[in-house]
Amino acid sequence: MKLCILIPAYNCAHILPEVVGRIQLPNDEDEIIIIDDSSQDETFGVANNLPRVYALRNKTNLGYGGTSQRLYQVAFERGADFAINLHGDLGHRPEDIGRLISPLVNDDYDIVVGSRLLFVMEKIKKHRLSRVLNSPELRGNMPLVRVLGHIGLTWLQNMCYKTHLHSFHEGMRGCSRTTIQWLLEKEFSTWYNYDTELLVQANSYGLRIKEVVVPPFYDGHAKSSAPPIRYGIQSAYNAIKACIKPNLGKEEF
């Protein structure tokens, strides 16, 4: 079975060699697909010279969601049986890819999500909320404002979408080939709320979703290009719209 690691990359030339170098591919036919979303730096040139990488460049900026959708299209065309998304900015640890492969292949799930918030919630159960909030080490150095923002947004989204996920805001996600084929027939946002829309529609259509624990990873050279305040406001707005219009997640978002 062929595994493809899908990396949307924007201005990631400085970090891509480390990201790719830390990815372990189980089989010879597996590959890493990187799409440079019309970066202003040398992202494409760097990606194109990395081992086991199939690199493409968008002629115009398609946005995070548009690039993610194109990655799925390329993976499907190249015969992927399974695909796992990984951010090009090192927002997730490449070493955690294996945590998603086993349930995806052996347990027959349609989508497996690497959940950083699930990691934090397990720490809260073990050590109490106050201790985790006061200990960056216990929460994997995840900034406190992000922890609180993720918890609040996830509570609102679960209530409005009638879901039971621990987090909608994860860029590490595994999909089976049948799921890739399903999502290629859908239209999702081209912006950063692509991940949320995909999970909401997948849940509405009865796809089997599993969350697995992955530790948060935050350091000085792993920086997301998503604007956090705008992203949070947009996510909350979409969730409230779903409360007002309950069938929003099925056909239109």
All residues at 6 or more sequence positions from 214 whose CB lies less than 8 Å from its CB, including other chains: 92, 93, 96, 99, 114, 115, 116, 118, 119, 172
Which pLDDT score is estimated for 223? 61
pTM strictly above 0.85: yes
| Burial zone of 1 (CB within 10 Å; 0-12 exposed, 13-18 middle, 19+ buried) | middle
At residue 173, φ and ψ (nearest 5 deg) are: -145, 135
Among candidates 22, 57, 18, which has minimal Cα distance to 41? 57
Mutual orientation of helices 177-184 and 194-204 as an angle, nearest 10°? 110
Q: What are phi and psi of 84, to 5 degrees?
A: -130, 125
Helix (H) or strand (E) holding 102: helix 97-106
Token output for 212: 């697995």
Q: Please tell me the predicted confidence (pLDDT) of residue 106.
A: 87
Q: Each residue's pLDDT tens digit in the chain (253 positions)?
A: 999 999 999 999 999 999 999 999 999 999 999 999 999 999 999 999 999 999 999 999 999 999 999 999 999 999 999 999 999 888 899 999 999 999 998 878 999 999 999 999 899 999 998 999 899 888 888 888 888 998 999 999 999 999 999 989 898 999 999 999 999 999 999 999 999 999 999 999 999 999 999 998 876 665 666 788 899 999 999 999 988 876 544 444 4
